Structure 1
């Protein structure tokens, strides 16, 4: 062992002499270097050297070589400054020529010598011994490869071959080797051969298939750039011809015109056709390669969802002609093979939300709304096909994410908020749904009637669940405050559903109904003759009719009719009440019905159906005189002799 160490140290004499001769290290420093190297060599020659021994030796040599390089630069810089100073003191040409010769003589010793390459060779030798000792250490192999790549040493191919021979089932080595051939050695054929050999050795590696596709697409993009530079960018590998022209226009300083004089139109047209045919053939070959890679990957890994997702992501990230057909094929295969997987549906729904950042701010809200709707439709289909707990959990998570994104972008809509709250209820997250609805109703969506309705129904169900089927007075007061807030805030047209909900809830509490009547009067006074207002007022009159009788109901509807421009629909409801009583012989009801008809005709004189109903009432329960009176009034107002003819079914 000592003889071997001594032999290796003696081989360093030329390097050490060169370091001393150049003035990079002193004799004492070189003695310390020799001592340290002797220690490292003995550590490597012992019976069972450790991996750390090799790495420590390599680290020392790298530090030593960095110090040598640093001192070399300092000496060269100092020498250059000294020479510049000498040049300023030269007075004649002869002296100047002598100075140049002197400077040339000084700079001769800084030409590349043995000390410049000895450090690199020694580190390579240590790595070689280490990899022979620790063949299975992949980290050591990659350190070896990285050092060869950084130093651009010719041993790189040999080291790659050795690493692959010892580890043929490691996809990372094949990928590393192909990447070096493609990027550093610029040998596309060798890179493709390495990837294909790696796929034969590791056919179930997703990374191998993905990197092979990425390499081929990168190569196609390089060919695209080459065609653009050569002026052959008719339509190859681009979705829009304007993109290539725009790119070329922005980078016109990179190009040199080869035909400044121009050509005739016939010759130019013929050249264009030839280029198109050439490009079509080229693209067909490129597309065939990509399809072959995809089909080979699917055949090798038929159950890998991640592989196909990555394939689609790569296809979306590049701008290639006819790639849409392949994307559609990938999506169809995904749905056919993974429709039973919750992860597929979750990914496909998230795919609908992609590329939001690229949209125009002016129509960003519409774009987001459309994407959210498509995503919700995907989740609806997923829940119908896979009603599992995992699917519901994924849907809740993405809905929460969609809600947060929409709220942060200022694009939160009433429909999205209601969908999210409803979904929380489906997952039995009642408290979360209640808190969210309260936050939105008191914040950005304070005018969302549907959200208020959803919140009110949740509060009613919560109170009923807490106290049994009946609701105590305390809860009734809190619920009335909630209804009172929204009913006074929003128009009766928007809150028709809330009105009916409140009347049903407080139907057994007269005090609250009377308060609702006061609120309804205020809302109806501004609603005018809307059908929503007629529905609410009819419900209130009906409640009084059932509870207190016709006399009280008559008083209530007269109160509503006294408001500005009551609805025709409400007139018809009140007339129907009175007409039903008049049909059984109630004379007061007939009088009231005639008054209602007269009031309604004053407001809506051209309503033919109203005149027909009035005439029919007089024919049934009135006299011939009153019937003729209505008949002639109608003819005069409507100016039509056939207006009161009852239409046949």
Structure 2
């Protein structure tokens, strides 16, 4: 019970401040003390449960919400901060810290702690929690993604890149982390483009201001510069004409293409290619960038070990039908897809079955935007 008594003593200052500021009454603070004592008693048991910690934390969260509402209603939140302004949130953090000492292997508990820290705007704490969580669970891709997302929220692309690369080294068979890596690099292109526009740096090297292009590409981080140089080529530098080449290639998605190539070498599966396709297709990039990256992705599909599987063949063949073409474009798209699949028709029964489904699907559409689809199936089998 000494631990319980110690925790009670730690509560006195904040409860006194709450009463003095008329946020809670003396009667309410006595009830708070009683409830906390009950929760603390359950935590000092020999076999404490995770649910005991979570209930305690939920109680403190509700108490903090009530405090904030009362402070807002009183209009007394503009003065100098006092202990009661942060004590309840700090107690929530302490409860999770105590819980993690007992349940260090519980990933869900780490995630809840991270969410709480994010909710309270504790940026530095979020970074420390994710770093600790990754030390305990280096085989959990989701933690790397959360950590990288946190860094991206504060425009730290280099830190996010380093985290995802570390996660990939330890979890090369994770489709999820490869997808997030591609998304992150797509976001880097967009952010770089916006920065160059603001700074007056032209992609073709015609700088409208006095800013040094090489400094902007580096972004103050040598790791980004090195990664760009490795991707664009060993002969490229970030000055003069070759700097223009580097900028142009970056904006065309050279880094993203390099990531896709690495992913294809590490995890050549249809699931990976389909996931990366959706990631690139759904990201709001420019049409030229998207088409260039997807063309590279299709090339990697063809070269991979699964390039002759039915699902991979269909993924590449359907490229001509992306975006919902109409009229003559639809007719031409179906023709190209049909020819693409027919070229692999001898690759196995699975391809034949996929082709049959493709034919039946389009033949079932009597008319699309005025084009009679059934009339396109002259070379189809069994239509």
Q: TM-score, normalised by structure 1?
A: 0.49
- Structure whose alpha-carbon radius of gyration is higher: 1
Q: Deviation digits for residues 468-508 of structure 1, max 9, x if unmatched?
A: xxxxxxxxxxxxxxxxxxxxxxxxxxxxxxxxxxxxxxxxx
Distance 1:412 1:209, change over 3 A: same
Match of 1:293 in 2: 259
Q: Alpha-carbon deviation of 1:398? A: 3.0
CA distance in 2, matches of 1:342, 1:276: 45
Match of 2:358 in 1: 398
Residue 353 of structure 1 is aligned with which of 302, 312, 321?
321
Q: Alpha-carbon deviation of 1:40? A: 0.7
Distance 1:280 1:163, change over 3 A: same
- Are the equivalent residues in 2 in contact too, given 1:227–1:233 (CA < 8 A)? yes
- Are the equivalent residues in 1 in contact too, given 2:366–2:374 (CA < 8 A)? no
Structure 2's unaligned 5+ residue stretches are 206-238
- Are the equivalent residues in 2 in contact too, given 1:171–1:202 (CA < 8 A)? yes
Match of 2:150 in 1: 180
Alignment of 1:154-553 (within 5 A): 154-184=124-154, 186-235=155-204, 278-284=243-249, 289-301=255-267, 303-316=268-281, 317=283, 318-319=285-286, 327-337=294-304, 338-356=306-324, 359=325, 364-386=326-348, 388=349, 390-403=350-363, 407=367, 409-416=369-376, 423-424=382-383
CA distance in 1, matches of 2:195, 2:77: 43
SS in structure 1 at match of 2:343: helix
Larger proportion of helix: 1
- Are the equivalent residues in 1 in contact too, given 2:60–2:92 (CA < 8 A)? yes
CA distance in 2, matches of 1:187, 1:299: 28
CA distance in 2, matches of 1:325, 1:24: 60
- Are the equivalent residues in 1 in contact too, given 2:317–2:337 (CA < 8 A)? yes
Distance 1:73 1:403, change over 3 A: farther
CA distance in 2, matches of 1:400, 1:108: 67
**What is the alpha-carbon root mean square deviation over aligned residues?**
2.8
- Are the equivalent residues in 2 in contact too, given 1:234–1:276 (CA < 8 A)? no
SS in structure 1 at match of 2:322: coil
Structure 1's unaligned 5+ residue stretches are 77-106, 237-273, 425-649
Q: Alpha-carbon deviation of 1:115? A: 1.0
CA distance in 2, matches of 1:157, 1:47: 32
SS in structure 1 at match of 2:200: coil
Match of 2:67 in 1: 68
CA distance in 2, matches of 1:406, 1:20: 76
Q: Which has the higher contact order (CA 8 A, sep 6+)?
A: 2
Equivalences, count: 345
Q: Alpha-carbon deviation of 1:309? A: 3.5
More moved, 24-33 vs 121-130: 24-33
- Are the equivalent residues in 1 in contact too, given 2:298–2:316 (CA < 8 A)? no
CA distance in 2, matches of 1:230, 1:404: 54
Match of 1:40 in 2: 39
CA distance in 2, matches of 1:231, 1:332: 35
SS in structure 2 at match of 1:383: coil
Match of 1:57 in 2: 56
- Are the equivalent residues in 1 in contact too, given 2:71–2:77 (CA < 8 A)? no
Distance 1:353 1:295, change over 3 A: closer
Q: TM-score, normalised by structure 2?
A: 0.80
Residue 144 of structure 1 is aligned with which of 106, 113, 120?
113
- Are the equivalent residues in 1 in contact too, given 2:53–2:96 (CA < 8 A)? yes
CA distance in 1, matches of 2:339, 2:68: 65
